[in-house]
A and B are shown apart, each in its own frame.
Chain A
Amino acid sequence: MRSPLTPEMATQEVQLNETLAHLKTESETLKTKLEEERAKLHDVELHQVAEKVEGLGQFVMKTRRTLKGHGNKVLCMDWCKDKRRIVSSSQDGKVIVWDAFTTNKEHAVTMPCTWVMACAYAPSGCAVACGGLDNKCSVYPLSLDKNENLAAKKKSVAMHTNYLSACSFTNSDMQILTSSGDGTCALWDVESGQLLQSFHGHAADVLCLDLAPSETGNTFVSGGCDKKANVWDMRSGQCIQSFETHESDINSVRYYPSGDAFASGSDDATCRLYDLRADREVAIYSKESIIFGVSSVDFSLSGRLLFGGYNDYTINVWDVLKGTRVSILFGHENRVSTLRVSPDGTAFCTGSWDHTLRIWA
């Protein structure tokens, strides 16, 4: 129940609304102008330019390893820099470190919550980070002593006000970048747990992030339920570029290996390529027969192939330049929820709601 307005308050409120409406109009005008400017530079399509590139041959990609051990949906995984170990997390609250080459489990941690949606391997290979419905990101140092209880050395680093959707170490074990259902991303100092920088701008849950591959780069990209992909400056916390062409949630973002572009995967069943220099979407990867959402994407080492894990249990492999699908891989018996290419590009790993992980090469 609103208290009765005085005539002055009523006028003020009308004025405020007018100013807001006025600003919104200005914003819309600018958006149109920006689109016009960018469209002028859109002189050709990537796949047209790529017609002169030699086509790729037939691919034989198979499951080379199957990792069984999780008791429920696998939600996330990450590779160790040693190119063979991986960490995976599941709805059952377990985080497992595997030697994917031998399929042996090396460590296992039970989290206090279910739905561990994010996990990451530290660059040194000596720790893993994970989190999910507990709204936190915790770091567990990996002990060489198999009998040691990893949970005892747990370090709580990040604190959000909603679920943790993704986490990634920056170039060292000392900083972690997180994204959350609370609509923000944040950079944390691992040792002290201090918040170094927060990133505000998404209008809804942030679902994914990826750090720019450059050695000196200080940027990262995030994707969210507001259908936007934002590029951020880690130093200032500012959003430096924004892309909004998807028709639904962006579940995954991944940089092209040169760092000049990034790919996204969305619930609208498409993957898209955005170039940072053109400030524009330059390719869209879709097919009439693909109607289920993309949960995760990653590039092969040269950037020629884009692998997409889908909610229809398949993996679609795309020719990034020509825009065509080169292969469809069957095997998982439920949604593919996570997909990452190994550090040296020799394989990629998928995690699924069917409780397993698979290594493909």
Chain B
Amino acid sequence: FKDDLSTSPQLFTPMSPYDVDLPIQTTEDVLFGSQFNQPKELPTDFSSVDLSFLPDITQDSKEENLSEAGHDMQKEFDGSISSRNEDSSIFVDESSLSYPDATRPSPEASGVCPPLTPMTPMTPVTPASESSGIVPQLQNIVSTVNLACKLDLKNIALHARNAEYNPKRFAAVIMRIREPRTTALIFSSGKMVCTGAKSEEQSRLAARKYARVVQKLGFPAKFLDFKIQNMVGSCDVRFPIRLEGLVLTHQQFSSYEPELFPGLIYRMVKPRIVLLIFVSGKVVLTGAKERSEIYEAFENIYPILKGFKKAS
């Protein structure tokens, strides 16, 4: 049992006996199928690649072979990349692009062992090459807070500005403020929902402003358990996407019914985020409790989307 773990190239080294028992579920395992445990997933093109750059060769011939090997590999990769674009294992594309750089040392560097990249990278899966360079923008934050006192909603509706109260239709006061531009639902229990803010701080600030309004009306309002419940972000990958292809290869995560809704609904497992992906290349990400989840989800989906870019 212990041997299995030590020989297979896992992403962690057990620090204590307890760690050994933890199941390793990397994003890649779930999304792409584990690259490390199933070398079969690697493109078969590698079989024809000159592997003489590996540390067996002598010092003199090393550089020579290395530059040759570098060129060979370059050709292999250039040739194979376009054909492999259709694969779901796009992650391999990224790492393979880094090989030519890593294995082609400058002729001047004599006697220096060039940085050798193993065929199966041991580093975290995010490719050493580019990140997407696109940052999703937060569009909406929903948060809740407990004012910890019973409220007379009719009183609040009559005395506060910019308030609506129609108990026949909805049992809460709907109040709005202009800065930060938000809407709050205030319930008689003292609980409140704050929506519409564009950042975590703005959501908290807005909630505090509503609490102050309620306080000024004479209620002993507090500010307990402020929590962000949902964050929504959006961005543009700037190329059209083949949603039909994406739903075919990622069917366990995707749901695409163009007659129902024009966007593909991608339910990412880690992080647990739902993405709405559109043909235009626009992406909406929702379901996050933290900003980092939005960013992480986008970085995960970007290479997949690149693989389904519409050829034009």
Q: Do A and B come from one complex?
A: no
Residues of chain B at the chain A interface (Cβ within 8 Å): none
